[in-house]
Structure 1
Amino acid sequence: MRNIFTIILLVVPMMLLAQTPYKFKRVIDLETTPVISQGNTGTCWSFSASSFVESEILRQSGKAIDISEMYTVRQTYMAKAENYVMRQGKAQFSEGGLAHDVLKSIKANGLVPQEIYDGLDPDKNYHTHAEMSAVLEAMLDTYIENPGKKLSKKWKPAINAVLDVYLGAVPEEFAYEGKTYNPQTFLEMTGIDPDHYVSLTSFSHSEFYKPFVLNIPDNFSNGSFYNLPLDEFIATLDHSLANGYTVEFDCDMSEPTFSARHGLAVIPEDAANNMAALTSVYPELKISQQYRQEEFENYTTTDDHLMHITGLLKDQNDTKYYLIKNSWGNLSNEIAQDGFLHMSESYMRLKTISITVHKDAIPDTIRKKLGLQ
């Protein structure tokens, strides 16, 4: 009889816990610009990294500047096109990209404010790129097929002309708050140095503490990522937030437990609780380096979506979650408000492909291991 009572005493609190709605307390809430929508496009990489850069401008200067996502998209399309043509079509040409593509574009092409270059069709109030992307790829494939038996010198001007039609011509000079700038002098005014940012990941198929090219589809530009053990990867993320630095990241959003509608992303210990865990607290899976690697190598974890980490939260059981700024507009729900998500540490450990941070946000001991100055 005593054993039965013991079991009841153990099981009943667990059942009650499993049915408890989430209650969150924000521990860290860093300054960022308002949530906006990427529309019907695959340009989350530009929206999230631009939001990250805007927070960096806020952190460094206190200036709230809305930078143009589509200026970066416009410039990056030309880089994608050149890569696709010179690899004779044996590369990805799509709407996707990664955070380092934004930083590369900023370094090469500068920045432009949103009010100067919005990239919108005059007849629409939202972005849609399906037609443009299909037209561009068809044109590039024609040049690659080489009907003239020699690659035409006209392909770059032709692609640029199409981009001008769909997104608008790139401004050479513009006025902003009473001063005249070009994209490079505007970049200088913001104080952003693209060379001060690094991308980090955590996969055991490559040597830790060394950079390597991560083979994922959207890494068309063959960008390098510094590789950290999983615990140090998470420690770097937490250290960044604790010291006032927001973080850009790439993750898998294909899980049924990633829900923008519920404003939540979790990894329940028991998959039978997946749907219930979107509204109530359930125990979560412990994520090891090995399990993370297996899920990546079997395609269960893929690089689907980039977002912006702007804070840290705790639930009523003192479990850690990350405050995530999305780019799908101001979706509000019972858990998160105004287009933000709450992502558990378990989800972050398993489903994050990479993060991008200011190099000063990395703990000194880890920076030394990476050989960063």
Structure 2
Amino acid sequence: MSSSISPQSIDESNLRDWLNTQAMALGFDGLRITDTHLGPATDRLKEWLEQGCHGQMEYMQRHAELRSNPELLVPGTVRVICVSMNYLPPETDFDAEWQRLENLSQAVVSMYARGRDYHKVLRNRLQEFAQRIEERIGKLGYRVFTDSAPLMEVELARKAGLGWRGKHTLLLNRESGSTFFLGEILVDVPLPIDQAIEEHCGTCTSCIDVCPTQAITAPYQLDARRCISYLTIENPDSIPVEFRKAMGNRVYGCDDCQLICPWNKFAKRSQLPDFAQRHGLGQATLLQLWSWTEQEFEQRHEGSAIRRIGYSRWRRNLAVAMGNALASGVEKGAITEALKSALPSADPLVTEHIEWALGQNARPT
């Protein structure tokens, strides 16, 4: 990655205003710039990996050195342009989300995943943004990323001043809470950098207290092996029995630590049609989603982040939620029949979770 642009040729004040304007025009809600030095964060990552808190996300261990240094990921990088994009659809209501979690006949999909795959949405816009920058200042070396490479993007965004790291480890911002995606453009041009901002969590521990599986083991420390988002998405194997009851009706991800966070009272809604919910995922019942064939799963989740977990993990997650519904006396007849009828054609992973779910039918309500 190499650029012919000299630092002296950059009109810093005019360029920065222009960058902000272009970012907003492309649908981004925030933009800040930082250098590539991650400091103590690299040691914290190493310790976290040594403790095994990444579970079976082996790619994090495999690319740990690259994560610690963006210059190794993309040689020549001297700056990282960090952007955020809000994702909540206009109709999102946090009170309604809590109510869905209490109604165990419902299937709860994490709010970020109900629309189009954010990787595609952000990547396309980041690429266009980088091309516009090149048209403005001349040819430069760059690469764009959004949760798609060994890059400590939350730490870079924190260092750039897009927000501060909350006690749940997500990035928080006073104007938009935590309900936004992050994206990066790694460039070889020495753009002016921004400063980190002050933290505003204070003594609040709501996110720690509300976590169903106590995955937030201490402020700013997350054990992914206990996290429902990890268990339902990244985990390829059987869901540990000790966490199944706590999953409730969460079938893809978990939003509890965001729903409870006081700063998300200010969470801004997105007007981008890409993030509007699809196929009724904000209102679907467990039985409705269980009725989908594999072909329907593939078709309806085309262009969705959910599709990458595959049909088997999807059914595994649903089976656990259906077992929890049975244990609470919800739609026992219909759910029992649906689970039993699926047994003959289920693969071993799903079979084990169906059998566990049916076993919950005998539990006292």
TM-score normalised by length of structure 2:
0.21
TM-score normalised by length of structure 1:
0.21
Higher percent of residues as strand: 1
